[in-house]
Structure 1
Amino acid sequence: MQQSLDQEVSRFNVRKRSFQIFDETSSKQVGSVQRWLMRGQNFVVEWLEAGVAGETIFVKSEYETLVLMPDTGGTILRAGKPAILAAAGTVCVVPAGPYSIALEQWGRYCVIASSRIDIDLNDVLNAAAYSNPDSRIEPFGTPYRRHTDQGEVQVLQLDEISPPADNPRLKMVQTETLSINWVAYDGPRVRSQLSPHSHAHHEQGTLAISGNYNHHLRVEWGKDANLWQDDEHCVAPSPSLLVIPVNLIHTTEGIGQGKHILVDIFSPPRADFIAKGWVYNAGDYTRDK
């Protein structure tokens, strides 16, 4: 059935989510490195797990990228620049242009970008979901410009980032074109304190780095039953990535004991979080008028 324009822009019209567990069956082997690629409309996520020998991988972007090193360090190399050694537990803001990452043995890494000109987007695991763009999603453009240490790699130690006073589970970092929430807690999430919500103008990527989760997903009902979808309770081990479309009601519940680490991804950066003073490095950026 052909949808009307009213259906297409309605908050009740929700695209299907993308979800992928990063296991061996979904990986691509690059030397001794296992690699997984997924995308949202405005972002690309590359998850990497190094092999025994340790190797170097290459990245090229028109915009700043984020490199996450959750539990193993690595070295960022750029032509004509000093090598930058980043320890485990860091987030690196890397300027636009080509660079490489020298991986440590058995290390896990994630590169998050709004654009990767070195990647064919037809090769990502959920490429089919983006055969047609969603006009409701705000384009990332370049709404922010870094004015501190321009052209330099910034290495941010997660232990040194202060969370918002009213939400100690969250640590937030931005680049020119995207922002992330680093969400960490021990043990299961309290089921009486979940936070179901939706977004009208942007997607959200939710990357599970440590722990097990249930992603609870619901489409709001409108008058047109053709747009209804069943609730979903998506079981998500780590590592895995969920891409949440516009208007999908969602909340994530950490289950079981142990450390839980999630990274929520947004592009463009969350201006509402920046305005509240929640984003750790927001002072390094000026917003274009």
Structure 2
Amino acid sequence: MYEKDDPRSALATATTPRPDSGDAIAAAQYLDLRETSIVRAQNVILAHTEARAGDDLDNGTLDGELAIIVTAASPAFTVLTDDGATQVDAPGLVVVPPGASRISVHGDGPLVRLVEAAEPAWRDRAANAGAYAEDHPRVAPLRRWPEPAGPRRVRFYPLSEVPDDPARFGRIFRTRAFMVNFLPEQNGPRDPRKLSPHHHDDFEQLSLAVQGEYVHHIRTPWLPDSTSWREDEHVRIGSPSVTIIPPPTVHTSEASDAGVNQLIDIFSPPRRDFSERPGWVLNADEYPMP
């Protein structure tokens, strides 16, 4: 599954098989965010906005936290809540507490917002809502993790404070409902002889391409019902895009652009296996495990 020098090779989930449930396996989804801006997985809605200076983005009044993914291309902005204003002008993850909030935008560029899929203000807005008319039985339901430590506030985790470390898999932050992993930039195509096909037992993976181009290789395991079998998929997609990878498909993503390629992986609920690795979750002191 993983090369010996891949930090994920030490995960318990990489070595411990689990009996199969026999439930139907959902199809992968490949969503070009230049064509549709609001999409969903089972537990999370992702809204991609090409923001412009002066925009006022209303997030609604949310039951759960809002997460904002800020990349190097994102504009500066201010998060406005009943508790005050928080300015953000660097890449990282912003977590906004439940309640009403707005975003005042100070420049041009992409912003990505994450909200829980059950949020009344958002749940009917996803372009691919029909794919979740019924819950996928293989996906674990969202149960929020414990409340964050300290007073209620907008929290900002800048990437500049946590350089890449090859002993750690990406730069991972979690909230009560989400886990976001900023993977390192890949300069040029990935070596096709060093891919990392693997699967997940019970959670979807959202692979958000923010730079470059990727080929997503996905294999659906064969179940006893041969009418449900699918051909292997090797889908090339640019950025911005999001690919929703269902369990337990075998998958790996191959950077293919000659320039800079970057993925950000999103999970809901947070991954326990990543959370159990010491030092991997960079805001674990504020967001405890169950």
Using the size of structure 1 for normalisation, the TM-score is 0.86
Q: Shift of the alpha carbon at 1:117? A: 2.8
Deviation at 1:225, TM superposition (A): 1.8
Which residue number corresponds to residue 195 of structure 1?
196
Gaps of 5+ in 2: 1-19
Does residue 63 (structure 1) correspond to residue 98 (structure 2)? The answer is no
Measured after TM superposition, the shift of residue 164 of structure 1 is 5.0
Partners in 2 of 1:73 and 1:190 — Cα distance?
Answer: 35
CA deviations 1:222-268 (Å, max 9, x no partner) are 44322210011111100011111121111111112222221111111
CA pair 99-66 structure 1, distance change in 2 beyond 3 A: same
- For the pair 1:75 / 2:66, whether they are aligned, the reply is no
Q: 1:173 maps to which residue?
A: 173
Secondary structure of the corresponding residue to residue 256 of structure 1: coil
| Paired-residue identity, % | 29
SS of equivalent to 2:124: helix
1:91–1:156 Cα contact (<8 Å) kept: yes
CA distance in 2, matches of 1:112, 1:127: 15
Q: Give the TM-score, by structure 2 length.
A: 0.85
Whether 2:23 is the aligned partner of 1:22: answer: no
Structure 1 segments (4+ residues) deviating >3 Å: 162-165
- Counterparts of 1:76-115 in structure 2, within 5 Å, are 76-79=79-82, 81-115=83-117
**Alignment CA distance shift 1:68-1:16 (3 Å):** same
Whole-Å separation in 1 of the counterparts to 2:78 and 2:215:
34
Sort the Cα spacing of 1:219 and 1:130 in 2 relative to 1 into closer, same or farther, 3 A: same
Query: Larger deviation: 252-261 or 113-122?
Result: 113-122
Give 5+ residue unaligned stretches, structure 1: 1-7, 28-35
What's the C-alpha RMSD, in Å, of the aligned pairs? 1.9
CA drift at 1:77: 0.5
Q: Which amino acid aligns with 1:175?
A: T
Separation in 2, partners of 1:239, 1:103: 20
Secondary structure of the residue aligned to 2:30 is strand
Residue 129 of structure 2 is aligned to residue 127 of structure 1: yes
Name the counterpart of 1:33. none
The one-letter amino acid of 1:132's match is E
1:50 aligns to 2:51 (yes or no): yes
CA distance in 2 between partners of 1:222 and 1:9 (Å):
10
CA distance in 2, matches of 1:62, 1:163: 33
- The superposition leaves residues 155-179 of structure 1 with CA deviations (integer Å, 9 ceiling, x where unpaired) of 11112124454246x1101001110
Distance 1:144 1:115 in 2: 19
Secondary structure, aligned partner of 1:273: helix
Number of aligned residues: 266
What's the offset of the Cα at 1:115? 4.0
